[in-house]
Amino acid sequence: MKVIYFDNNATTMVLPEVFNAMAPYFTENYGNASSMHHFGGLNNKAIENARRNVAALLNAMPAEVIFTSGGTEADSSAIYSALRVYPAKKHIITSAVEHPAVLEVFKKLAKEGYNVDFIGVDADGRFNMEQYKAVLNEDTALVSVMWANSETGTIFPVKEIAALAHKAGALFHTDAVQAVGKIPTDVKDVDADMLSCSSHKIHGPKGVGALYVKQGVRFLPFMVGGHQEKSRRAGTENVPALVGFGEAAKIAKETLWKYEAQVATLRDKLENALLAAIPDCKVNGDKLSRLPNTSNISFGYVEGESILMMLDEHNICASSGSACTSGSLEPSHVLMAMGVPFQFAHGSIRFSLSKFNTEEEVDTVVKVLPPIIKRLREISPFHGQKIACPAR
């Protein structure tokens, strides 16, 4: 049975063009890019071509792109560099709905003595600008706020957030892992100091990402050792992965205009059909400003983990807004920050689409899911404990 994959915010299929571009660098052009000889030097040229492609996707200069092992390393590199650049400043700001790659670092820093403000969101997951303005001050070293939320797709006003951070004398970093390749991410327009992105979210290979650092912004490396990446990130270059990332970035830039309309149409069809077919469900997130491929739907009075298990029986892949799969019974921190009632947050499913999904696949999900929800509600411990369904 064919797999119906609606979990593209978790990872994406490597494009055939990307795979083909990578292949020679495993068995033919396998030299160390830092070597002095010609054989290795050819690989250095391939890396710089990849850097140009990633930079073009961000509207950056190639010299502003530092390759990393992924979005998590890029996030940590940005955060710790900012704190070392401003050692006297002890105040830092992020949002309450960040990816754990940022959120857990800030929680750790809070235990180490930093004054941390976690800015809240409203019922649609929108960043609380008034709270942000109230806590931003001259002691703020860094503001790190995601460009788009990985669970709901809600897009944050990063340009305005960055401008306010700069006015206060702070650096601004954005985790744009979910935004890059899905919506325009122009670092010059936003005036970001640093930005994190990842290859495997845009149909490139896993284990490679990038940190954009604006020219003129002081950067102190997180990983030291060799002279790679102009001494900004040590470690032997993963040439096949970097070539793949560059090819994926090139294709993403060329097809972005088409991608946005295509996947948004499929997402809306899926949402509208499920809302019409299943009572007591709601869409989570800002429906006017969110990623075109992301739909987070709460199905009241059932558990997200059970929904996923039954969808998996039909070879349908999605993910849960709940942390059940990690062994916790608590719903997603994102949905809880939004004030979604427990009976709905606990049964949330994220459908994240790609350009490879089809209307036929959407039709299959719409056919399969309503009976699953009905069956689960009949045996749910929440059965008979209904509350008013939040606004859809």
Q: Catalytic residue numbers? A: 324
Q: Which residue has the tokens 């409203």?
A: 122
How many residues are recorded in the chain? 392
- The answer to whether 214 and 65 have CB atoms below 8 angstroms apart is no
Of the candidates 195, 199, 155, the residue with the CA atom closest to the CA atom of residue 175: 195
Contact (Cβ atoms closer than 8 angstroms) between residue 310 and residue 364: no
Using CA atoms, how far apart are residues 123 and 335, in angstroms rounded to an integer? 9
- CA distances to 103, 156, 186 from 288, rounded to whole Å, are 25, 12, 20
The Cα–Cα gap between 347 and 367 comes to 19
Residues 52, 293, 209, 204, Cα dihedral to 10°: -70
User: What DSSP element (H or E) covers 198?
Assistant: strand 194-198
